[in-house]
Amino acid sequence: MIEFKNVSKRYAGNQALDDLNLTIPTGDFFVLVGPSGSGKTTTLKMLNRLIEPTDGNIYFDDKRIIDYDLKQLRQQMGYVLQNIALFPNLNIQDNIAIQAESLGWSRKRRIDRARALLKQVDLDPDQYATRMPSELSGGEQQRVGIIRALAIKPKVVLMDEPFSALDPISRKQLQDLVLHLHQELKMTFVFVTHDMHEALRLGQHIAVMRLGHIQQIGTGEAIMQHPANAFVQGFFENEHTPRPATIHDLLLEGYGAATRAPATLPATASISELADALRTQTAVVVTTDQGVRQLTTADLLDYLATKEAN
Ligand code: ADP
Ligand code: MG
C-alpha cells in the first residue's frame, strides 16, 4: 500500500501540491488525471524520490519512503517515461536488462528475462532482441520502454503519460497491453494522464487533480455518476458530450499566460471566435475565475494539435 499523508510541495513561491492525502491499495491500477500543471508528475516523482516533499510523509508498505535505502526503493519502483528514452547505442535486449545488469544478474539470466518480456508484449525475440532502438516504430519502442521498467520485477510501476506522443491506434493497443500486463503481473500500477478517456479505460481508482489539489478520488463509475464539483463535471463533459469547444476549455487545460491587460473576449466565446479575433490581434485577453489570461495563436494551435492527436 502507498499512502500520501499531508504532502505538500513548494517550488520557489509556487505551491505545486497542497496537503495531498491519498491511498493506493496494493495491486491497484491507480490513475492520476488532471490538466497540465495540476501536480501529477510531481506526485509521481515523489514515489521514487526524484522529488522530495516540502512537507508531509509518503509511506510504502507502512514504512516512510524516506527511511528506505534509495537504491532499494528505486528497485521496487519501475519507472516508464513519457519520452521513451531507450539508450540509442544499446540493442533492445540490453536496454531491457540494463537495470538487471547493474544488479549483477548473469548474462544468461538477463537475456532470458528480456526475451520472455518481449514475448509477453508480442514482439518476437528472434526478430527484436538484437535490433537497435532506431529500427523500431514509436509504438514498439514504447512497448520496450514498458517492459524495461518491469525487468527486475518491481512491486510498483510508475508511468507518466507514456502514450501521449503516440497516434490513436498505437495508443489504444498500448492501453490494452498495460491492462493485460497489470492483470498478469499483479503489480501496483500508478499511471499519469491528462486524458479523461484514458483514465476511465485504465483506472480501477482515479484521482482527479487540479492546481495541486485532489478534486475527487474513486472508481471511474462513481466519479462519473457523482462528480464532486463543477470542475470534475466539466472535465467529464469535455470528454463525453461533443460540443463546440470554447475559450474556457483552453484555459482549463492550462493554456494562456497571466496578464493585466483588459479583457477582449468572454471565456464562453467559441474556438472559432477566438481564431477570428487572432487574425487581427496578437493576443486575446479573457477574464476567468483564476484571473486574467491571454491567449495567442501558438496556444490555439497547440490546443488544436492535441485534440487532433486524441
Ligand atoms: P503536471 O504533471 O500535472 O503537468 P507538474 O507536477 O509537472 O504538473 O507541475 C505542477 C506545478 O509545479 C506546475 O505549476 C509547474 O509549473 C510547477 N513545477 C514543476 N516542476 C517545477 C520545478 N522544477 N521548478 C519550479 N516549478 C515547477
Ligand atoms: Mg506532467
- For 276-299, the pLDDT digits (tens) are 889 888 899 988 766 788 999 888
Per-residue confidence (pLDDT) for residue 239, from 0 to 100: 58
Pocket test for ligand 1, best of 17, 20, 41 (most atoms within 8 A of CB): 41
Q: 1: which 3 cell numbers?
A: 500500500
Q: Which atom of ligand 1 is nearest the CA belonging to 45?
A: 6
For the whole model, what pTM was predicted? 0.77
Task: Looking at the structure, tell me whether residues 261 and 220 fall in a common domain.
Answer: no
Ligand 1 pocket, residue 148 CB under 6 Å: no
What residues are neighbours of ligand 2 (ion), with CB under 5 Å?
41
Per-residue confidence (pLDDT) for residue 136, from 0 to 100: 94
Domain boundary among 179, 212, 236: 236
Per-residue confidence (pLDDT) for residue 309, from 0 to 100: 60
Residue 271 lies in domain: 247-308
CA distance 157 to 146: 9
Per-residue confidence (pLDDT) for residue 307, from 0 to 100: 73
Q: 267: which 3 cell numbers?
A: 471565456
Determine, yes or no, domain membership for 241. Answer: no
Closest C-alpha residue for ligand 1 atom 23: 11
CA distance 41 to 61: 22
- The domain tally of the chain equals 2
Per-residue confidence (pLDDT) for residue 235, from 0 to 100: 85
Q: 70: which 3 cell numbers?
A: 534509495
CA distance 272 to 8: 39
Task: Looking at the structure, tell me whether residues 187 and 129 fall in a common domain.
Answer: yes
Ranges in the chain, pLDDT < 70:
83-84, 238-244, 289-290, 308-310
CATH of the domain at 177: 3.40.50.300
Q: Which atom of ligand 1 is nearest the CA belonging to 254?
A: 4
Spacing, Cα 283 to ligand 1 middle (Å): 25
Task: Looking at the structure, tell me whether residues 119 and 28 fall in a common domain.
Answer: yes
CA distance 235 to 132: 40
Determine, yes or no, domain membership for 145. Answer: yes
Task: Looking at the structure, tell me whether residues 255 and 201 fall in a common domain.
Answer: no
Domain boundary among 216, 236, 256: 236
Per-residue confidence (pLDDT) for residue 242, from 0 to 100: 55
Per-residue confidence (pLDDT) for residue 236, from 0 to 100: 77
Per-residue confidence (pLDDT) for residue 310, from 0 to 100: 55
Determine, yes or no, domain membership for 213. Answer: yes
Task: Looking at the structure, tell me whether residues 205 and 261 fall in a common domain.
Answer: no
Determine, yes or no, domain membership for 107. Answer: yes
Task: Looking at the structure, tell me whether residues 133 and 31 fall in a common domain.
Answer: yes
Task: Looking at the structure, tell me whether residues 125 and 265 fall in a common domain.
Answer: no
Ligand 1 pocket, residue 13 CB under 6 Å: no
Task: Looking at the structure, tell me whether residues 166 and 298 fall in a common domain.
Answer: no
Of the listed ligands, the closest to the CA of 14 is 1
Determine, yes or no, domain membership for 50. Answer: yes
Closest C-alpha residue for ligand 1 atom 17: 16
CA distance 20 to 2: 13
Tell me if 139 sits within 8 A of 166, measured CB to CB.
yes
C-beta neighbour count of 141 within 10 angstroms = 19
How far apart, in Å, are the Cα atoms of 236 and each of 4, 213, 306?
Answer: 26, 17, 17
CA distance 64 to 51: 15
Per-residue confidence (pLDDT) for residue 238, from 0 to 100: 64
